[in-house]
Structure 1
Amino acid sequence: MTGLTVRWHDEQLAVGLVPSSAAPVELGEAPIRARLSTAEGDTIVFAYRATIDVETRTGADLHIEGPFRALEVQGPLDFSLTGILASLLAPLAEAEISVFTLSTFDTDWVLVPAALTGAATSALTAAGHTVSAGAEYEESQ
């Protein structure tokens, strides 16, 4: 896979596990928000700044990880493409950076612990990827 262009989003995110018995959670605004449901509960991705509010509104004992920063792969990506996530995750794994990944209809997202943003940028750049943020990314669209 040739080098990809990925963009850091500034908003810090959290990943939480909400028990199935808890009150529904409104995820609010963030560059990406998600709710994945299983019989055990909902895994949610939301703005880290809303952590206390989410805990209060659910009335449940939540398990929350974060803060994370989100990397968005420049898309749209065709469904027939292969190796997108593998090409990003391999250098991050080699640098011992754990991740949480999500895919939308037209692109992939990689959540990286916020404290490791610099190390992740270095690992991805060394692997031949272009890492950008803000206006630089928008202008390349």
Structure 2
Amino acid sequence: MTTPLHIVCPHCDAVNRVPQERLGEAPTCGKCQASLFTGQPVDLSGARFLKHVERSDIPVLVDFWAPWCGPCRTMAPFYAQAARQLEPRLRVVKVDTEANQELGARHGIRSIPTLALFSNGREVARQPGAMDTGNILAWVQRNLQGPR
């Protein structure tokens, strides 16, 4: 048995320990009993964002977006489809930069949509501009493989 991974619940933000080999078995939260993976991007703000990025042992993919942004709205269904394919290997989240301006500023978001990939609490890749599902998946895969 491998060392358990820390997975933050998308519902109550409790940190759960889940054996890596059980990620695909629809694990539930030990605190609220809800599914740890929903197949949908999780809307995060403030402290919730920090907890998911800093406490999760799986990478976190973030879409920095705004409701008034046309390209953001165009990309939203592609991002949701990518979430269904990437979970449970990654946590897929969205941050509304209009409602959470401090997060956008803290991470230097200058254009939206912008995807950012976090691993072990640190940003490892960033990509501005709208993408379709295939390009999102390819970009994530390239950036999780690390330097060649």
Q: What's the TM-score once normalised by structure 2's chain length?
A: 0.29
- Relative contact order (alpha carbons < 8 A, sep ≥ 6): 1 or 2 greater? 1
Normalized per residue, which structure has more strand? 1
Normalized per residue, which structure has more helix? 2
